[in-house]
Amino acid sequence: MTMTTTSIKKRLLFVDIETYSEADLKECGVYRYVEDPTFEVQLFGYAYDDDPVTVVDFAQGEKLPEDVLFDMQNNAVIKIAHNANFERTCLTKWLGFYMHPAQWYCTAVRAATLGLPRSLAAVGEVLGLEEDDKKMAIGKRLVQYFAKPCAPTKTNGGRRRNLPHHEPEKWSLYKEYNRQDVVTERVIFKKMEQFPRITADEHELWCLDQCMNEDGVLIDTELVRNIIAYSENHSQELEDRAREISGVENPSSFPQIRRWLKSKGLDPESIDKDAVKALIKELNGKKPEVVEFLKIRQELGKTSVTKYSAMERALCSDNRVRGMLQFYGANRTGRWAGRIVQLQNLPQNKLKDLDLAHRLVKENDFEMLELLYDSPMDVFSQLVRTAFIADEGNTFAVADYSAIEARVIAWLAGEEWRIDVFKTHGKIYEASASQMFNVPIEQITKGSDLRKKGKIAELALGYQGSVGAMKKMGGEAMGLTDDEMQSIVDRWRAANESITALWRTCETAAKKAIAHPGIAVIIQKGITFQMVGPHLFVKLPSGRSLTYQDARLVKFGMRTNIKYKGQNQTTQKWEEVDTYGGKLTENITQAVARDCLGAAMVRLSKCGYRPKFHVHDEVIIEVSCETAEEDLTKIRGIMALKDLDWIDGLPLTADGYLTEYYKKD
């Protein structure tokens, strides 16, 4: 994924392929996609260095030249592709030999490290490549025509697939589309080469990520299929009951539901999760048929079963799901994003008798489950994690960093009292409340109002949040008034002067760097702000950099604001984004925490403990039952990163536990 000083001298081979499979790539992921019996590589476009592009037409019997076939395994040739994981996985299956990630470079990942969009079309547009929108639209239609099954019709003779001889002219266009993609990725590669390159450590981490995704995680298929089967029947019963109560034809249609509710004297603006909950509370037992309908709506609205369905769709022949994590999925910080099952937003498990619920589902005893629990769907939500299981004779060692963001920001800012807390008892909520309200920490007990205030302050205020942030974290639900929340904000900031100073330092450094291109502005822990061309780079203690594209200063009244170009995380549109000291501090803190996790995973892997997957700041590693306790102790020790020079003084500790199936301890 990276070009080191030595590898730059190696020959470059730009690659793009077009494929066919009856499996839905978006729904099941590339690993299940290539397992489908219908999978094949249709076209193989390639170009060495600056040579012309050649397209090999596998679909019409052409063969890959021997020298190219040799170079696909040649360490002296760097293979470059956009979303290289797709090419690597498909070609490993098609050519019959393993494509090691160390020989590959992914321009999509490179784009993400520069704060750019990941898609080839979007990054090309941002980098100023001339792209014919009409040609792109034609390309998408050709992919739809040749790369996916088609519906049998009288017009096409009842066939389920379009082949080159069915539309020779379209096939020629398809080959041109493939050729042009190679040209585009080469231009993008060269444009990105003008910026600081990815570090060797990041390359090593990407290789580990690729291997981890290839390993996959074993799924409890019995649990998954029992839940899906029950859920389908249960949902149908609920929908039938909802129709019976209301006469509404479609219990999922807001307009239909709203008309019925109006007939009952109610007119809600929304029927989302929060609105339904509020309406049930407002009715307080009145209009029982409406309350029952709304509770059915709540039950049908639970999304837990969608994750089980995603597992089933992506299941490979060995009952594993692969490819659930996307490297550099969040380009603001470099953190991973969830794919397929969405590991980053798994429901929590709070059932005290989780093992019992798990056993009942496994035994298909839903009658007993319904007797013991109010909502089977809620139980299923809490069992999602337990669908990930260890191989026979093994167990999971789960280890996670305790309050890592709070530790990192204290270390970055030099907030000594907080660092002392993490070096000793680690009770940051209690210690924060003690500092804020000048009360001995011994008097702040679990469940007390002061601890609650300390907790919400810690969760809401570290990145320059104020009353609005406290409300989002549940301040109003706690019964706090705006004045009380403002008082907590003021007290927290007074108790954390070094952190509030860090916000100002980051903002000042960014503004100075933008105003003086080329000048390196260095703050604590060696964090460096510097403009390279029109872009602001923030070099982290690890050596990795965050990128803010087209950064500039804009006068707004008496204030100067920082703006840069980025992808809107909701609309996916490329647009101008504002940032400030607290947000820069958040990006840096989360990025450093991510780098700690990455360094730990590389070290764990080298010691024979390659994670099966990871969730936020937690790694899940499969170990032998016979040595599990010893392995867990070693894993926790490795994760402390005690001799890692760039985090000198950062008090890292990892908690851990053993479990036969994944859960939150």
CA distance 430 to 439: 10
Per-residue pLDDT at 420: 97
- Percent of the chain at pLDDT > 70 equals 97
Other C-beta atoms lying within 10 Å of the C-beta of residue 155: 6
Q: What is the pLDDT of residues 578-599, one digit of tens each?
A: 999 999 999 999 999 999 999 9
Cβ proximity of 545 and 196 under 8 Å: yes
Checking if the pLDDT of 4 tops 80, the result is no
Checking if the pLDDT of 118 tops 70, the result is yes
Average pLDDT score over the chain: 93
CA distance 397 to 386: 14
CA distance 422 to 400: 15
Quickly state the pLDDT bin for 136 (edges 50, 70, 90).
low
Cβ proximity of 584 and 506 under 8 Å: yes
CA distance 580 to 568: 17
CA distance 149 to 339: 24
Quickly state the pLDDT bin for 302 (edges 50, 70, 90).
low
Per-residue pLDDT at 5: 35
- Percent of the chain at pLDDT > 90 equals 79
Per-residue pLDDT at 512: 98
Other C-beta atoms lying within 10 Å of the C-beta of residue 144: 11
Cβ proximity of 538 and 527 under 8 Å: yes
CA distance 315 to 376: 24
Q: What is the pLDDT of residues 404-434, one digit of tens each?
A: 999 999 999 999 999 999 999 999 999 999 9
Whether the model pTM is above 0.85: yes
Q: What is the pLDDT of residues 143-185, one digit of tens each?
A: 999 999 999 998 888 999 999 999 999 999 999 999 999 999 9
